[in-house]
Amino acid sequence: MDNNEILELAKQFIPFLGEICGSGTEICVYDLSDPEHALIAACHPRPGHEPGAPLPQPLRELAAADFDGPQSWAMLPCGQGSNADLCCRVYPIGNAAAPTGLLCVTKDLSPARELQGALQAVLERFALEQPREVPPAIPAPTLTAMMQQRIAAVIREYGVPPARMSVPEKVEVVHRLSESGVMNIKGAVSEIASQLAVSVPTVYRYLNRPATP
């Protein structure tokens, strides 16, 4: 397949690519053998990019530098002014080291940016901008919660529910909690009585009894 046949094959894909990408995307095929009349096919062309137009200077420099990047296509940097919102990708047609032509796909992002700016202006004008949701903070366990968990943990170590615990076991629980300092926390005695299913005076009586060795 010679160079002309390769370029003709590339031209056949232009309408297909143009339909997929939409009217905001320019699709062009350039013939590098004639830089002054390089554009041979275009879909959704921008002004001045009709067939027969010369090869733009950025594409001339790209073709001369070869496509030696990590991918088979190249990205052109955005321009200035009216070209600042153009996003351009270029693919070599034929041998990447000495391409026959270039397939150039250019998206015009200016309508999207204008819409974004207009929407932001409306939100600000009517105070419609929603504040960002901040996930609720997970509350740190309170001293009371930690005390309740500690009492329950000591009772669980005996492997039987409080209603079936013997008096010496309950006495031992009270002494262990007292020695660990739990009983110095406000409300601890009432919580111990509740979890052991006894009265508060009984907890104090257990505390005054010696624990079984």
**What pLDDT is attached to residue 43?**
94
What b/e sequence results for 131-147 when a residue is b if at least 16 CB atoms lie within 10 Å of its CB, and e otherwise?
eeeeeeeeeeeeeeeeb
pLDDT of the residue at 35? 93
Identify the pLDDT of residue 122: 86
Q: How far is CA 105 from CA 45, 46, 109, 178, in A?
A: 10, 12, 13, 78
Domains 3-111 and 143-208 share a fold: no
Please report the pLDDT score of residue 32 as a whole number.
94
Q: 158: Cβ–Cβ under 8 A, 6 or more apart, which residues? A: 165, 169, 173
Q: What pLDDT, on a 0 to 100 scale, did the predictor assign at position 124?
A: 83
Residue 135: per-residue pLDDT: 74
Q: Does domain 3-111 have CATH number 3.30.450.40?
A: yes
Residue 193, pLDDT score? 93
Of 196, 193, 197, 180, nearest in space to 146 by CA: 180
pLDDT in the model for residue 45 = 93
The CATH number of domain 143-208 is 1.10.10: yes
In the chain, where are the structural domains located? 3-111, 143-208
Cα–Cα nearest to 174, from 200, 135, 137 = 200
**Own/partner pairs, 12-19, CB within 8 angstroms, 24+ separation:** 14/41, 14/42, 14/43, 15/43, 17/43, 17/105, 18/43, 18/44
pLDDT in tens, the chain (213 residues): 788 899 999 999 999 999 999 999 999 999 999 999 999 999 999 899 999 999 999 888 888 876 665 567 778 776 666 677 888 999 999 887 788 999 999 998 888 888 888 888 888 888 776 666 777 777 777 888 899 999 999 999 999 999 899 999 999 999 999 999 998 898 999 999 999 999 999 999 999 888 765
What is the spatial distance between Cα 116 and Cα 114, in angstroms, rounded to a whole number? 5
Answer yes or no: pTM beyond 0.85.
no
